[in-house]
Structure 1
């Protein structure tokens, strides 16, 4: 994982989590189209840095969140 937003082009197409609220609260955005990695940022800070996760690490995180929701 890296905290370097320069690794994510400014023209990246960001999408907001479907679980984010519509009032501008705690929102996570991800950018697709980067082989092997997934950039993640806080939607309230679009010009701030992004975290870049390896695809396996991000998949493991999402699976754990889904498992916790169903428990």
Structure 2
């Protein structure tokens, strides 16, 4: 499966967190404002990044700006 190799692949780009104001979920535990993360996969709505837990997580693009 493709997602099993994401942590080992070369990052596509880097993004910086600009806010963690989520309406439905708590993302402030997994994302730090001002920190830069490597994007391992990207869809139309989401970035999959290696977050503060050390695992790959999917987050809305609205939390980030491209570096």
The question of a shared fold, defined as TM-score above 0.5 by the shorter chain, is answered with: no
Structure ranking higher in helix proportion: 1
Structure ranking higher in strand proportion: 2
- Per chain length, whose mean CA-contact separation is higher, i.e. which structure has more relative contact order (CA < 8 Å, sep 6+)? 2
